[in-house]
Amino acid sequence: MHWLFGDQLGPHFLTRGEEGPDRDTPLLMIEARSVFRRRRFHRAKAHLVLSAMRHRAAELGDRVTYVHADTYRQGLDRAASGHPVTVHHPTSHAALGLVRALPRVSVGPARGFLVPMADFAAWADHHGGTGLRQEDFYRWVRRGHDLLMDGDQPAAGRWNLDHDNREPPPRDTAALQVGRPYRPREDEIDEEVRDDLDRWERDGDVRFVGRDGPRLFPATRAEALRALRRFVEHRLATFGPYEDAMLAADPVMSHSLLSSSLNLGLLDPAECVQQAEGAWRAGRAPLNSVEGFVRQIAGWREYVWQLYWYFGADYRRSNALGHTAPLPDWWSDLDADAVRANCLRTVLAQVRDTGWTHHIPRLMVLGSHALQRGWHPAAVTDWFHRCFVDGYDWVMVPNVVGMSQYADGGRMTTKPYTSGGAYVHRMSDLCGPCVYRPGDRTGDQACPYTAGYWAFLDRHRERLARNHRVARPVRQLDRLTDLADVRAQERARGDTPP
């Protein structure tokens, strides 16, 4: 028997290859209720994952035994009854520990990523294991996979076209003029999942957070392929320039919305980057957009996956800044209506309503606020994991512990990602209607991000003064005549929603 986890749903998990199942190997899928009992997930996420698993089981028909069990171990005992089982390398330390501890289960290599873990470990060791940089890794992957290359040179002679990207949003419109993203249509399997979730909640067995509207993300391979095609044909061309911009009325802009499909294993990253490169070679999308998208997948996604394993299971407990504050209830409950700061209110509402928001709101609105408030990085990681449709342990731990909360003290990034309101103002239309003013540090209209930024630098000034990327603003602290007021104001703010 071959066991498929709920994030191993695409055809590339069933091809023979190294340790893959034969064409007629019986398959096993286990829906373990304890997973949903352990954590308070976003309902849209629970719905998507269960819908995708059950759709896959329906496609595989008699070949699969689909077990509803309390735990994985119970499901396996019931279905495999002592027979040998194979499984592809799971995507979390916990799941890997479990399958390795089970008798008669043999674990094959991971699938769904471009670089084998052993190759990455060799590359990282070669680079000294510390001071690893995504840019170096990304170039290595581009070369190794012949992605956007002309011979041994990067296409058009440039590795990095960030310079042409990262524009502020157009000021004269509330929405980008770009084709709408693919949205699936629900079917009877979605209905059945929704009924089950209602019943579990009614029985008091499981609690969810967030709203469960119509399913917004693909649950099948066919839907995911349609989403990929729609993106490459109609939306990729404008991906690059506005990658980092935010518009209140257009949360998706030109983003691909493919993360949940990639992380469920419905799409293989290789096909995504190849299709994007194909669009550029056919003259259908400019290089800055295509390079930006390829960098996200072959660079960032791949890098994050590799670091999760390379840094090991203890990395999640990193807390270099010694942040220990718990998350307040309004945040945990996604109570956007309690918040007055327009950027946070808007973004938290996006998460509450869809379980998704793009990279910059995650980093520079949500993560930045958590960092400025000094919330415990493990609690912040758990919150992101539960509340996002694309959240899995492997992708959340480096993104939150490393990139967003700087809890690893700089192993993953060169500086903490946080800013005052001026950044949000420049990169969005969110500050115009806000009750706070990005330029104000103190007083009734003080922007919580601007005040929070200086208070954060102040609290960690000793450590940050040694970091050349933030040393300058740290030096500016000495010139702030109102620093004592900022401190007092931030202490008084406590846990209240900004």
Nearer Cβ to ligand FAD, position 72 or 356? Answer: 356
Check residue 403 for interaction with ligand FAD (CB under 6 A): yes
Question: What is the per-residue binding string for ligand FAD in 276-315, x denoting contact by CB under 6 A?
Answer: -----------------x--xx--xx--x-----------
Contact 212, 136 (CB under 8 A): no
Contact 327, 379 (CB under 8 A): yes
> Which of 367, 374, 402, 452: binder of ligand FAD (CB under 6 A)?
367
Nearer Cβ to ligand FAD, position 80 or 232? Answer: 232
Nearer Cβ to ligand FAD, position 299 or 448? Answer: 299
Check residue 368 for interaction with ligand FAD (CB under 6 A): no
Q: Alpha helices of 155-258 — where are they, by DSSP H? A: 188-202, 221-234
Check residue 438 for interaction with ligand FAD (CB under 6 A): no
What is the nearest approach in angstroms of ligand FAD to the Cβ of residue 357? 7
Check residue 259 for interaction with ligand FAD (CB under 6 A): yes
Nearer Cβ to ligand FAD, position 362 or 460? Answer: 362
Check residue 55 for interaction with ligand FAD (CB under 6 A): no
Nearer Cβ to ligand FAD, position 241 or 391? Answer: 391
> Which of 148, 262, 294, 464: binder of ligand FAD (CB under 6 A)?
262
The region of 142-150, 281-289, 362-370, 439-447 touching ligand FAD under the rule CB under 6 A is 362-370
Q: Which of 180, 413, 160 is nearest to 292 (CA)?
A: 160
Cα separation, 453 vs 457, in Å, equals: 6
Amino acid identity of 187?
D
Nearer Cβ to ligand FAD, position 323 or 441? Answer: 323
Check residue 256 for interaction with ligand FAD (CB under 6 A): yes
Six-digit token string for 410: 């700089």
> Which of 350, 404, 418, 428: binder of ligand FAD (CB under 6 A)?
404
Cα separation, 222 vs 226, in Å, equals: 6
Q: Left, alpha or beta for 209 (phi > 0: left; psi -120 to 50: alpha)?
A: beta
Contact 98, 72 (CB under 8 A): yes
> Which of 147, 224, 232, 257: binder of ligand FAD (CB under 6 A)?
257
Nearer Cβ to ligand FAD, position 367 or 374? Answer: 367
> Which of 158, 183, 211, 359: binder of ligand FAD (CB under 6 A)?
359
What is the nearest approach in angstroms of ligand FAD to the Cβ of residue 3? 23
Six-digit token string for 454: 């200086």
Six-digit token string for 224: 């995911």
Cα separation, 359 vs 357, in Å, equals: 7
Cα separation, 498 vs 373, in Å, equals: 11
Q: What is the largest CA-CA distance in the chain?
A: 74
Helix axes 221-234, 269-281, angle to 10 degrees: 30
Check residue 230 for interaction with ligand FAD (CB under 6 A): no
> Which of 8, 86, 165, 263: binder of ligand FAD (CB under 6 A)?
263
Which residue bears the tokens 């550029």? 280
Nearer Cβ to ligand FAD, position 320 or 480? Answer: 320
> Which of 190, 244, 353, 390: binder of ligand FAD (CB under 6 A)?
390
Give me the residues paired with residue 107 across strands. Answer: 87
CA atoms within 13 A on the CB side of 54: 18
Cα separation, 20 vs 41, in Å, equals: 31
> Which of 102, 253, 396, 424: binder of ligand FAD (CB under 6 A)?
396
Cα separation, 411 vs 380, in Å, equals: 18
Check residue 381 for interaction with ligand FAD (CB under 6 A): no
The region of 113-121, 216-224, 258-266, 484-492 touching ligand FAD under the rule CB under 6 A is 258-266
Nearer Cβ to ligand FAD, position 20 or 112? Answer: 112
Cα separation, 202 vs 197, in Å, equals: 8
CA atoms within 13 A on the CB side of 125: 6
What is the nearest approach in angstroms of ligand FAD to the Cβ of residue 5? 16
The helix (H) or strand (E) run that includes residue 304 is helix 302-310
Check residue 395 for interaction with ligand FAD (CB under 6 A): yes
Q: Which residues bind ligand FAD (CB under 6 A)?
A: 255-259, 262-263, 293, 296-297, 300-301, 304, 358-359, 362-363, 367, 384, 388, 390-391, 395-396, 399-400, 403-404
